[in-house]
Amino acid sequence: MARPKEDIAAAARKLVEDARNGIFRPVYLLMGDEPYYPDLVCQAIIDNCIDEFGKDFNETICYGADVTAEQVVTAARRFPVMADRQLVVVKEAQMMKNLEEIAVYCNEPLDSTVLVLLLHKASADKRKSLYKSVQKIGAVLDSPALRDYEMPGWVSSYFREKGLQIEPEAAALMAESVGTELSTIVVETDKLLKNLPEGASSVTVADVEKNVGISRQFSVFELTKELSFRNAPRALKIAAHLGTAARFAMPQAVSALYMHFNRILRYGALLARGGYPSAEDKAAALAGVNPYFYREYDTAVRNYPLPKAQAVISLLCEYDYLGKGGDGAATTPDQLLVELTAKILNC
């Protein structure tokens, strides 16, 4: 069973905190499709393991494409020079052709060595010796990629860590703007925080629009909202403007619309069972949706009962194909989006 993503964040924070307190494992295996947390832990270890005076003698940082497992093991088995420990870091370790052979060292690691294996957007085979041996004697951090629908929640939690509240609409807008790369969100967030008024305790849509460079007025987030309420003039205007934006990509827009209407479909199926759904069932049907937006979905499910929601899903599959160049259509992305929006409104 996959580890819950909130546990990954907590595990990363614990490893970072330990590093700052001088507590280290003999071997770290930092991996996964989302590089933010592995990079965060690796940097914390580099910053705190060896003091500045000892780095020349007791810190080795190399890259997987440039070394062999034998060279890494030889480095790890050296003793520190006039210090209690040494640090050996292998970045982009997935580039090593014989990475698995480092398992031999993990069977008898030196107490005076901290070995870090950092894989970039890749994972070690969990069925093999390296992963299993590091699990026993060191620390494994496996960071999966987040899905689109999880991003607003992650943005909100990241702001809470900074002591700030962010409006649900602002979190959704920011997630749409920067995608699913956590490091990009962190960079944009830090830029935004520097421009907030001193003493600010909350972040609004206006703050995001001003500092991140996206307009809520013409966003996929706003398009889904207007479609939910079947506001045809507004939805078509947004689609026409959005499709001409420099960073617009039809597949990403269709993906966001699919996620939205899939929730409407699931929620409609839940309501079709009869009776008022429990809070747990509603949350499951609307996975990833902040309760702040439940009212929108209560309206959307009335505007798109099951047959219409299914018809929209079918449309989205068709336009996903067209948006990726299917049938060799010469229609421009903005034309495709307006056409798709009109057909959804006519379902």
**pLDDT tens per residue across span 259-270:** 899 999 999 999
- Which residues face 59 on adjacent strands? 87
Confidence class for position 3, pLDDT limits 50, 70, 90: low
CATH match for 217-345 among 3.20.20.10, 3.40.640.10, 2.40.110.10, 1.20.272.10: 1.20.272.10
The predicted model scores a pTM of 0.71
Express each pLDDT in 131-150 by its tens digit. Answer: 999 999 999 999 998 887 78
Residues 152 and 175 sit within 8 Å (Cβ to Cβ): yes
Instruction: Specify the 3-state DSSP secondary structure of 321.
Output: helix
Express each pLDDT in 111-129 by its tens digit. Answer: 999 999 999 999 999 999 9
Residue 122: φ, ψ to 5°? -155, 165
Torsion angle in degrees (nearest 10) through CA of 61, 66, 70, 74: -30
Look up tokens 């996903």; give the residue. Answer: 320
Q: Supply the pLDDT for residue 330.
A: 59
Q: Supply the pLDDT for residue 2.
A: 44
Residue among 177, 249, 252 at smallest CA distance from 216: 177
Architecture of domain 5-142: 3-Layer(aba) Sandwich (3.40)
> Which CATH number does 148-214 carry?
1.10.8.60
Express each pLDDT in 143-182 by its tens digit. Answer: 998 887 788 888 888 888 888 898 888 888 888 776 778 8
Domain regions of the chain by residue span: 5-142, 148-214, 217-345
Look up tokens 């009109």; give the residue. Answer: 342
